[in-house]
Amino acid sequence: MRARRSTLILACGWVATFVLYLFVKPDQIAPAKPVPAPAVPAVHQVPVQVIPVR
């Protein structure tokens, strides 16, 4: 059985797209997680307006 010309053109297009993808794909698909900020004591996280005055 012989493949049709349009089938061969379509197959070549898929192969060319895959080869192009291999050359231009990103190195790492998932973005890197940001480094967490250092822990700050809870006293410094409360706004001044919330703390009642004695």
Tell me, what's the pLDDT at 43? 60
pTM of the model: 0.45
Tell me, what's the pLDDT at 3? 81
| pLDDT tens string 1-54 | 788 999 999 999 999 999 998 888 766 666 677 877 777 666 656 666 666 666
- For residue 3, give every residue at least 6 positions away whose Cβ sits within 8 Å of its Cβ, in sequence order, or none: 11
SS (H, E, C) the chain: CCCCHHHHHHHHHHHHHHHHHHHHCCCCCCCCCCCCCCCCCHHHHCCCCCCCCC
Tell me, what's the pLDDT at 33? 78
Tokens 């070549």 found at: 12
| Amino acid present at 5 | R
Tokens 């059985």 found at: 1
